[in-house]
A and B are shown apart, each in its own frame.
Chain A
Amino acid sequence: GAVVSQHPSWVICKSGTSVKIECRSLDFQATTMFWYRQFPKQSLMLMATSNEGSKATYEQGVEKDKFLINHASLTLSTLTVTSAHPEDSSFYICSATIIPKREGYEQYFGPGTRLTVT
């Protein structure tokens, strides 16, 4: 149980275009979903916290107009990288925490999406 999927697993796009990444909890409802970015050989950088039905909370330094997050349901959150630039190339990972809270807010991670902007 507690499987999180991401789609696509990798994507190549041209500079200036927008890319949408989906994060789904397949067999549970998620109270919260987190979006991370990871540069090569670096740790995860939390970008934003997403609660179903409310606006995402962005970490300092993350442009909310560039990285649009929509948490439309308890099983789906999307991250849209708008007007992508080569510096946006990175590995994007989502995680979800489970309902009910008895699970202690354990994070379940998706497999990640590798974005390359040319």
Chain B
Amino acid sequence: KQEVTQIPAALSVPEGENLVLNCSFTDSAIYNLQWFRQDPGKGLTSLLLIQSSQREQTSGRLNASLDKSSGRSTLYIAASQPGDSATYLCAVLDWWGGSYIPTFGRGTSLIVHP
């Protein structure tokens, strides 16, 4: 069964730093990979979606890459800001048992301090 691992589990950085969050998955036959942001006690906000045929997606200061063959994705955050403080989750979507099944990592908790 698919397993998704996110490293690091927690990160605390000063404002302005460029960051890299890592996501790895064990079964490379994924349909897509999605990065989310979750604020404490809140639901999830989708950041970027990468289809299995794509290698990267960009939105503003965020860039996500996907290397299916190695089972890895990275989320790059440029010029971090305190407002970026949140938990970042990655999820892969697999075809399993006749339907699409999402599997989430445990997340990276990010704190950006002024």
Chain A's closest residue to B90 (CB) is A43
- Kindly report which residue of chain A lies nearest to residue B100, judged by CB atoms: A105
When each residue 87-105 of chain B gets 1 if its CB lies under 8 Å from chain A and 0 otherwise, what string results? Answer: 0010101000101111111
A44 touches B43 (CB 8 A): no
Closest to A59 in B: B101
Majority-rule SS of A interface residues: strand
CB <8 Å contact, A51 and B99 = yes
How near does chain B come to A83, taking the closest CB pair, in angstroms? 26
B89 contacts which of A44, A49, A111, A114 (Cβ < 8 Å)? Answer: A44
A57 and B106: CB pair below 8 A?
A: no
Do A111 and B46 touch (CB < 8 A)?
A: no
**B49 A114 Cβ-Cβ under 8 A:** no
* Residues of A21-55 contacting chain B, CB below 8 A: 32, 34, 42-44, 46, 49, 51
Task: Select which of B34, B43, B51, B102 is within 8 A of A34 by beta carbon.
Answer: B102
10 examples of A-B residue contacts, CB within 8 angstroms? A32-B100, A42-B106, A43-B105, A49-B99, A51-B99, A57-B99, A97-B100, A106-B32, A106-B46, A107-B46
On B, residues with C-beta under 8 Å from A are 31-32, 34, 36, 41-46, 49, 51, 89, 91, 93, 97, 99-107
Q: Which residues of A contact B (CB under 8 A)?
A: 6, 32, 34, 42-44, 46, 49, 51, 57, 91, 93, 95, 97, 104-112, 114
